[in-house]
Amino acid sequence: MIKANYPIPVFENLPTPFYYYDLDVLRNTIEEMKMQARKAAFVVHYALKANVNPSILSIIKESGLGADCVSGGEILAALAAGIPTDKIVFAGVGKADWEINLGLDHDICCFNVESEQELEVINELATAKNKIANIALRINPNVDANTHHHITTGLNENKFGINMSDIEHIINKLPSLENLNMTGIHFHIGSQITDMSPFQDLCIRINEIQKYFINKQIHPTHINVGGGLGINYEHPNHIPIPDFEAYFNVFRKHLSLYPNQTLHFEPGRSIVGQCGSLITKVLYVKRGSAKNFLIVDAGFTDLIRPAFYGAFHHIENLSSDLDMEKYDVAGPICESSDVFAKDFSMNKSKRGDIIAIRSAGAYGEIMASQYNLRKLPNIYTSEDLK
Ligand code: LLP
């Protein structure tokens, strides 16, 4: 069995739990993504919500990607990382006034707007500053992403975006909102999508929507198709880089762009997911009558995905190459949902062994909490440990 090639003797001397970011994996992923995007001149804004660790953001900035932000805090993080303001977009269903003002003050490239009332508020705040705000309408495409119901967003029943049935009214209203400049349309159907057919459905839907806009003499200069490309949680060692080629090809093949239109993407997980692992230590091996429990020192406060979404993460015992045994891998938090995996086959484990919970670079560190008054996890990168 192939295991992650991590500096185990170094790990043994570090206080666990901690996130470990392999920056070579990150750089290789970005390189591949850029190479594939370049073939069709696609524009990529990294979705900061997946991970805002400064070491990661600095590589994102160096690689020339833009930033997709969903809060004032994320805009500040993008600015602190040195990402140019004209590469920052601001999305989110509940933008507060101070966050809109922050975006206006920095002349960010676009607000992705999710409701009629939000349009009015951005117009009002822009007018007060004597500025013109570029906006994209986030349209709910009513496309099923076939993913976990907590992370599907493109259905009419979700809170996100403007339904197509309300678009006519909004378009008629736009000319009266004089401090807004509509430059684009925006979509996002969900996250952790590994089957390409929902993206194809999205393209077909966008083609129809585009015809509607063009008939109304409206020519958006950019189409933003959001994020959502999934990663391989089962085989992080074999498939560390998602299939960006297949993903971008769907859009090259099925989405009809008009002259001078650019296509924008907002990937989060597919860029940072595989570069991160949560490293934890075995505290106790509890041998029950029906099951063996591995109690580790990380809990759902460090990585909430298994407890929250029932998400699968591959787990490796980096210290052992003994025969395989099945364990429920559980954390120390006083809730029965604090379990990382059930009946999971791992090398026979003992107190003190180092365990890696893989594919934790996206929605890991950033979703950590201090419930039970636990400490936030430490962070180390491959470069810190050189
Ligand atoms: N754009 C928009 C409008 C989004 O809502 C999202 C993610 C993205 C881009 C980036 O999507 P990605 O490429 O990362 O799939 N915490 C959950 C995932 C929530 C995703 C929310 N929106 C998880 O741990 O699975």
Contact partners, residue 62, CB within 8 Å, separation at least 6: none
Verify whether ligand 1 is closer than 6 Å to residue 126 (CB atom).
no
Which of 158, 224, 213 lies closest to 188 in space, CA to CA? 224
Q: Sign of the CA dihedral 156, 158, 160, 166?
A: positive
Number of the ligand 1 atom closest to the C-alpha atom of 153: 5
58-77: pLDDT as tens digits: 999 999 999 999 999 999 99
DSSP string, 295-346: EES--TTT--HHHHH-----EEETT--S-EEEEEEE-SSSSTT-EEEEEEEE
Residue 68, ligand 1, Cβ within 6 A: yes
**pLDDT value of residue 1:** 72
| CA 190 to centroid of ligand 1, rounded, Å | 7
Q: What are phi and psi of 220, to 5 degrees?
A: -65, 140
Residue 148 binned pLDDT confidence (cut-offs 50, 70, 90)? low
Q: Whose CA is nearest to atom 2 of ligand 1?
A: 226
Task: Say if ligand 1 is within 6 A of residue 189 CB.
Answer: no
- How much distance in Å is there from the Cα of 231 to the middle of ligand 1? 12
Give the model's pLDDT for residue 334.
Answer: 93
Amino acid at 365: E
What number does the ligand 1 atom closest to the CA of 304 have?
24
Burial degree of 373 (CB within 10 A; 0-12, 13-18, 19+): exposed
- Reported as a pLDDT band with limits 50, 70 and 90, residue 142 is confident
Q: Which tens digits make up the pLDDT trace of 208-223? A: 999 999 999 999 999 9
> What is residue 233's predicted lDDT score, i.e. its pLDDT?
98
Structure tokens at 35: 């190479």
3-state secondary structure of 114: coil
Stretch among 5-19, 133-147, 217-231, 239-253 having the lowest mean pLDDT: 133-147
Domains annotated for the chain, with CATH where assigned, are 8-18+274-381 (2.40.37.10), 24-272 (3.20.20.10)
| DSSP β-ladder status, 339-347 and 324-330 | antiparallel
More reliable by pLDDT, 125 or 145: 125
- Which atom of ligand 1 is the closest one to the Cα of 305? 24
Mean pLDDT for the stretch of residues 308-322? 97
Q: Which two tokens stand for residue 303?
A: 């990585």
Q: How far is the CA of 212 from the centre of ligand 1 (A)?
A: 28
**Residue 149: its pLDDT value, please?**
62
The response to whether residue 359 sits with its C-beta less than 6 Å from ligand 1 reads no
Distance 327 CA to ligand 1 centre (A): 30
- CA 51 / ligand 1 centre spacing (Å): 11
Residues 182/226, Cβ–Cβ less than 8 Å: no
Question: Is the distance from CB of 355 to CB of 296 less than 8 angstroms?
Answer: yes
> 347-382 pLDDT, tens per residue?
999 999 999 999 999 999 999 999 999 999 999 999
Would you report the helix, strand and coil content of the chain in percent, each value rounded to 5?
35, 25, 40
Strands (E), 96-151: 110-113, 133-140
Tokens of 69: 């932000």
Cβ–ligand 1 distance for 265 under 6 Å, the answer: no
For residue 154, is pLDDT > 60? no
The alpha carbons of the chain give a radius of gyration, in whole angstroms, of 22
Average of per-residue pLDDT across 298-315 = 98
Ligand 1 pocket test target in 185, 191, 224 with most atoms within 8 Å of CB: 191
Element (H, E) at 214: helix 197-215
CB-CB contact of 21 with 53 (8 Å): yes
Q: What's the chain's length in residues?
A: 386
Q: Which atom of ligand 1 is nearest to the CA of 50?
A: 14
268 Cα to the center of ligand 1, angstroms: 6
